[in-house]
A and B are shown apart, each in its own frame.
Chain A
Amino acid sequence: MNSSQKTIGVLALQGDFDAHRTLLETRLHTRTKEVRTPADLKGVDGLILPGGESTTIIKLMQRFGLYSAIRERAAEGLPMYGTCAGMILLAHEIYERPEQPSLDLMKITVARNAFGRQVESFESDIPFSPLQKSGETGSDKKEGTVRGVFIRAPYVMEAAPEVEILGHFQDKIVAVRQGNLLATAFHPELTDDPRVHTYFLEMIS
């Protein structure tokens, strides 16, 4: 399937969903669809869980029937990519907040606002291992890196052995993949570099 035939659903309950849509449509010429109800999930080949406020998004998911609908599609193998709040939604558990509900799809424990409040938000070049494998090695240090924009960002505290670690910031895990599920603590959609989204599209067979 080439990307022009795929339709990527973008969960649009709240958050920076339009940034994802713009990047997919203008840079990667991929059709997107806003997902607000279970019916909107029909016909999507992949789903993006955007940045936003994870507590708000999970409440709205539960109120409008998307919580179980998304879990059902995940069980059928629908590829999903979560950024920031989306990573929290995908996690099995929220560190020090076991009472916060999540979709519980990836075997990771995620710490919320783990780098601090907004004044600690930052950008950094993050080595992203799928790019390093395919890129020319050693020619340019920036070759296999993406610009990570971290906003009140989470990171992964613990990951089960089946979770592949794709990127670190310092000693913190900030990009992971488990089968059809991808998550980053940072926001590639806020940059004009589409390579992480390209990687996600390649996960959709």
Chain B
Amino acid sequence: MSNINGVSEVGAEKSTWRTKVGLAQMLKGGVIMDVATVEQAVIAEEAGAVAVMALERVPSDIRKFGGVARMSDPKMIKEIMSAVTIPVMAKCRIGHLAEAQILEALGVDFIDESEVLTPADEENHIDKHDYSVPFVCGCRDLGEALRRIGEGAALIRTKGEPGTGNVVEAVRHMRTLVRDMRRVQSLRKDELMVAAKEFRAPYDLIQEVHRTGKLPVPNFSAGGIATPADAALMMMLGAETVFVGSGIFKSSDPKGFARAIVDATLNYKDPAALAEISAGMGTAMESLDIRTIPESEIMATRGW
């Protein structure tokens, strides 16, 4: 494929904030699927995924294997990048500048600074403004979302609890975020500085939420989505796209689940269509009650 590498030389501005947030906007109304092999990436693209997340182990396997979870092998990421034409995302550890730079050098389309991997820095996240590649980060509430956007995240996803097949935390985080935004929107202008203090969030971003009632970047959902109905639920609660991690390739019928979750995300307002999509699906991934997970293994509390 022809590629003009001289773009930056003549009157063009590369990797602007608008091109970064713009890519996130192009992914709206879709499903982003975790894939661990080229075959899975092809299944995801075939089913109608808008992007894939290349990682060696899906979150449920990360839980099972334990130990330190790191960035995936660049060789595996490159193979997936050459196998599909849709955008390819990859995860780096929270605060791991070197992993982020490696992923940027590989040319991935989005970096997920992700709590699914073991954090490399328990205080600081990456300064994401410095990169040409856009970043997505997780949040549990408005303050966390705005801190990440302040650092340069071009896309936010609520965290949920990855690898559990249990949507309860995804629901909690999305409801919290949406409720927080409604609250900020309803405040008087002279109450916004206190809101910024309470949410521990940048004042200018609090002002923007007050004005628009929305995040300044798209808002997706992740962590525990296992069925078409789960995907539809998150769309109903305000997600603009869903990330599905273990839910597809740990189910009894990955192709069927992939396509059904895509169809359900599109038709989330149509219960009759959802009933049809959900019928005869086979078995969803093995799942976990969040209350049985030891506190040290909870992923959503990584990052702040």
> Does B263 contact A118, Cβ atoms closer than 8 Å?
no
Q: Which chain A residues lie closer than 8 Å to B45 at the CB level?
A: 55
Q: Which chain A residues lie closer than 8 Å to B109 at the CB level?
A: 117-119, 152
Binary flags per residue of B232-243, CB closer than 8 Å to A gives 1, else 0: 000000000000
Size of B's binding interface in residues, CB under 8 A: 46
CA distance A90 to B104 in the complex (A): 32
Q: Which chain A residues lie closer than 8 Å to B87 at the CB level?
A: 53, 118, 152
Q: Which B residues between 259 and 279 are near A, CB-CB below 8 angstroms? A: 262-263, 266-267
CA distance A13 to B10 in the complex (A): 35
Q: Does B27 contact A (CB under 8 A)?
A: yes
Q: Which of A113, A149, A187 contacts B85 (CB 8 A)?
A: A113
User: Quick one: given A118-B133, A119-B107, A123-B12, are A16 and B4 in contact (CB under 8 Å)?
Assistant: no
CA distance A40 to B220 in the complex (A): 26
User: Quick one: given A56-B49, A59-B48, A116-B3, are A14 and B16 in contact (CB under 8 Å)?
Assistant: no
Binary flags per residue of A49-72, CB closer than 8 Å to B gives 1, else 0: 001110110011001100000000
Q: Does B14 contact A (CB under 8 A)?
A: yes
> Does A121 contact B51, Cβ atoms closer than 8 Å?
no
> Does B266 contact A60, Cβ atoms closer than 8 Å?
yes
Q: Which B residues between 12 and 63 are near A, CB-CB below 8 angstroms? A: 12-16, 18-20, 22-23, 25-30, 45, 48-51
- B residues lining the A interface (CB < 8 Å): 1-5, 7-8, 10-16, 18-20, 22-23, 25-30, 45, 48-51, 81, 85-87, 104, 107-110, 132-134, 262-263, 266-267
Give me 19 A-to-B residue pairs in the complex whose CB atoms sit less than 8 angstroms apart, sorted by A's number.
A15-B25, A15-B28, A16-B26, A18-B28, A56-B86, A64-B266, A84-B26, A117-B107, A119-B132, A121-B19, A121-B20, A122-B7, A122-B16, A123-B13, A149-B19, A149-B22, A152-B23, A152-B109, A172-B4
- A residues lining the B interface (CB < 8 Å): 12-19, 36, 51-53, 55-56, 59-60, 63-64, 84-85, 95-97, 111-125, 149-152, 169-170, 172, 187, 190-191
